[in-house]
């Protein structure tokens, strides 16, 4: 074999290796957006379509409250007020959840990370696991309020909604900037019908991660 064909074989071998590696990239996703942006619904749909778990920290905390666990008792008032529970607590909950084997092919995080320390902790948890891509849903402010009011959850009354949106602006919006700087964000218009948003998410994930 001459020099040229050796290197051609090497190139095609490396392409095969790269293709194989690409198909194994786990779908580690963060769905991001203000309360009411529809990220929970879209996260559910995405997780179902791709057979990966959806991990919603809000759902985990509400279940803990419902079940009356030690954590539930601890966070009950915080959720009522629309404030954030402590970084240490939520990080340990997520760390434990991501440790479970069903996350090996990927997962959708909904409601985490919500602060910069949480984002840094997630980076550490995912070191050697392929990192994350962030899908940020943008929705008009009046649509957010309308959706939250429609939902009828106990932390969705007008005062608490305002509080949660303020917390989002102060604590959570900087997290988006953190990922944006690293070019890990796809911003999508969440005002469109559900199916259209789902399709846009699939297309973005295919583009960024396949
Ligand atoms: P959600 O269903 O994501 O809107 O979360 C409901 C509530 O749970 C929030 O208003 C917070 O009180 C609490 N919570 C959920 N996720 C987090 C998080 N990552 N950090 C701190 N608090 C959280």
Tell me the pTM.
0.86
pLDDT at residue 188 greater than cutoff 60: yes
In this predicted structure, what is the pLDDT of residue 90? Answer: 98
Is pLDDT of 7 > 60? no
Q: Considering only CA atoms, which residue is closest to atom 10 of ligand 1?
A: 82
Q: What is the position in ligand 1's atom list of the atom closest to the CA of 79? A: 12
Task: Find out whether the beta carbon of 132 lies less than 6 Å from any atom of ligand 1.
Answer: no
Q: Which of 95, 98, 111, 170 to probe ligand 1 with, by most ligand atoms within 8 A of CB? A: 111
13-44 pLDDT per residue, tens = 555 544 444 456 899 999 999 888 889 999 99
Handedness of CA 108, 169, 115, 132 (dihedral sign): positive
pLDDT at 187: 96
Q: Kindly state the DSSP code that residue 109 receives in the 8-state scheme.
A: E
Q: Give yes or no for a contact between 77 and 129, defined as CB atoms under 8 angstroms apart.
A: no
SS (H, E, C) 9-77: HHHHHHHHHHHHHHHCCCEEEEEECCCCCCHHHHHHHHHHHHCCCEEEHHHHHHHHHHHCCHHHHHHHH
What confidence score (pLDDT) does residue 67 get?
A: 98
Average pLDDT, the chain: 88
Q: Which domains does the chain have, with CATH numbers?
A: 26-209 (3.40.50.300)
Q: Is residue 85 within 6 Å of ligand 1 at its C-beta?
A: yes
Query: Is the C-beta atom of 112 inside 6 A of ligand 1?
Result: yes
What is the rounded CA–CA span in Å between residue 80 and residue 24? 41
Q: What are phi and psi of 105, to 5 degrees?
A: -90, 0
CA neighbor of 155 nearest in space, from 47, 60, 15, 36: 36
């Amino acid at each position: 074999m001459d020099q040229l064909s050796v290197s051609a074989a090497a190139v095609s071998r490396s392409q095969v290796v790269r293709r194989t590696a690409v198909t194994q990239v786990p779908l580690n996703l963060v769905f991001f957006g203000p309360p009411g942006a529809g990220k929970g619904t879209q996260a559910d749909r995405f997780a179902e379509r791709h057979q990966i778990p959806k991990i919603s920290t809000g759902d985990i905390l509400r279940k803990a409250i419902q079940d009356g666990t030690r954590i539930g008792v601890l966070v009950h008032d915080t959720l009522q007020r629309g404030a954030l529970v402590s970084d240490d607590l939520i990080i340990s909950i997520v760390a434990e959840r991501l440790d479970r084997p069903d996350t090996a092919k990927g997962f959708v995080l909904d409601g985490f990370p919500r602060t910069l320390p949480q984002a840094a902790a997630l980076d550490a948890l995912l070191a050697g696991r392929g990192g994350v891509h962030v899908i940020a849903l943008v929705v008009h402010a009046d649509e957010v309020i309308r959706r939250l009011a429609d939902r009828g959850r106990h932390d969705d009354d007008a005062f608490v909604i305002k509080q949660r949106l303020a917390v989002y602006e102060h604590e959570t919006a900087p997290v988006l900037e953190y990922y944006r700087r690293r070019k890990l964000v796809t911003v999508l218009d969440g005002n469109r019908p559900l199916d259209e948003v789902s399709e846009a998410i699939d297309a973005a994930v295919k583009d960024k991660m396949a």
